[in-house]
Amino acid sequence: EKGGYDYFMLKEIAEQPRAVADTLLGRIDATGRLTLDEVRIPDPVLREVQKIVIVACGTAFHAGMIAKYAIEHWTRVPCEVELASEFRYRDPILDRRTLVIAVSQSGETMDTLMALRHAREQGAKVLAVCNTNGSTIPRESDAVLYTRAGPEVAVASTKAFLTQLVACYLVALWFGQARGTQWGDEVTAVVRELADISAKVEQVLATMEPVRELARSLSDRGTVLFLGRHVGYPVALEGALKLKELAYMHAEGFAAGELKHGPIALVEAGVPVVVVVPSPRGRSVLHDKMVSNIQEIRARGARTIVIAEDGDEAVVPYADHVVRIPQTPVLLQPLVATVPLQVFACELATARGNDVDQPRNLAKSVTVE
């Protein structure tokens, strides 16, 4: 059932183009309108929403962090994202004009379930973004949008993450549509671009051999750092989480702008630093800031592994390794930028002799608080 792959994780990474395409299927019509009729929250209720709160754990939380950028930018509705295990216990401010989005692959994560129960008790509406039909989280929510990743067997989440992102982008666009948010050119371009994402993920997967080679060459390292800005920041956190859970290595993700506020002290000669570079097109100020961050860490001896768009030549002088990803609108970049980090962690962990499907101390669904 591993379909010729040594590990479920490898199979699930390879299935991502299909998982992404399936999650989009039938949800955007030919005119670019979102058709999420399955999400049974009436438009008048949506129009009253004054705040969105996303709750999730682990990888699903990283999807939520990315969703926040998209929701606020496209809809101008305030959005918070919080670890489900923290949210529940700090007396959050919620009422019937709050929409809570609970993101969960398994639909059984106890922390997320307790957070959504608490939200509903306070009168908030809850929308589940979930991969498992009929699981507890969607059953206890007001509405659900299913991701269609198919069963995810490996403990580390890969294809579920990409489909959570797709589902969150769809929710953001649909929410904007229901509220009559001005549909700028950028959003029209994004809707069009989503249709090409599956092919772009495929393209990334086809060029991963140098990443695997690099991962094997780093298998004896103690630490790997990850840097990102904007939506690249949660991607960096996700890259670090994958490496921790699979390779049992010290790995940390940072917002690149925070470097100078402390973490740069960790950079010493030879430390591999993976940098997720924003597109030089669009909001190019982000890109330029990131290039100076790469310069700064390189000057301190870091070995820079730079994930950058095709055609981005500005990074080349400061990169020990460049990993190319296709050009993608800024907010959608995580869909392509995460893939090399998954491959990197999987290969590095395998080189260290670890079972990537069953990492030590971890369970696929965490049904205790």
Binding site residues, ligand F6R, CB under 6 A: 57-60, 104-106, 109, 112, 156-157, 241, 245, 365-366
Smaller CB separation from ligand F6R, 75 or 104: 104
Please say if 68 is a catalytic residue.
no
CB of 125 to ligand F6R, least distance (A): 20
Beta strands in the chain (DSSP E): 51-56, 79-83, 98-104, 125-130, 143-146, 223-228, 250-255, 272-276, 303-309, 321-325
CB of 61 to ligand F6R, least distance (A): 7
Taking CA atoms, 275 is separated from 107, 123, 210, 272, in Å, by: 32, 42, 16, 10
- Nearest-angstrom CA–CA distance, 94 and 104: 21
Q: Are 123 and 96 in contact (CB under 8 A)?
A: yes
Smaller CB separation from ligand F6R, 153 or 205: 153
303-329 burial, b if ≥16 CB within 10 A, otherwise e?
bbbbbbbeebebbeebbebbbbbbbbb
**Local structure of 225: helix, strand or coil:** strand
CB of 3 to ligand F6R, least distance (A): 20
* Nearest-5° Cα angle at 266, 265 to 270: 120
Strand 98-104 to strand 51-56: parallel, antiparallel, or no bridges (unpaired)? parallel
User: Which residue, 328, 115, 150, 354, is CA-closest to 247?
Assistant: 354
CB of 149 to ligand F6R, least distance (A): 11
Strand 223-228 to strand 125-130: parallel, antiparallel, or no bridges (unpaired)? unpaired
Sheet holding 143-146, edge to edge: 79-83, 51-56, 98-104, 125-130, 143-146
Question: Phi then psi for 50, rounded to 5 degrees?
Answer: -110, -15
135-147 burial, b if ≥16 CB within 10 A, otherwise e?
bbbbeebbbbbbb
Q: Which two tokens stand for residue 281?
A: 């097109």
Chain position whose Cβ is nearest to ligand F6R: 58
CB of 162 to ligand F6R, least distance (A): 12
List 2, 51, 289, 364, catalytic entry: 364
CB of 45 to ligand F6R, least distance (A): 25
- Nearest-angstrom CA–CA distance, 279 and 325: 10
Beta carbons within 10 angstroms of residue 63's beta carbon:
30
The whole-angstrom distance between residue 139's C-alpha and the CA centroid of its chain comes to 24
Smaller CB separation from ligand F6R, 159 or 298: 159
CB of 115 to ligand F6R, least distance (A): 11
User: Which residue, 69, 63, 133, is CA-closest to 102?
Assistant: 63
Catalytic residues: 364
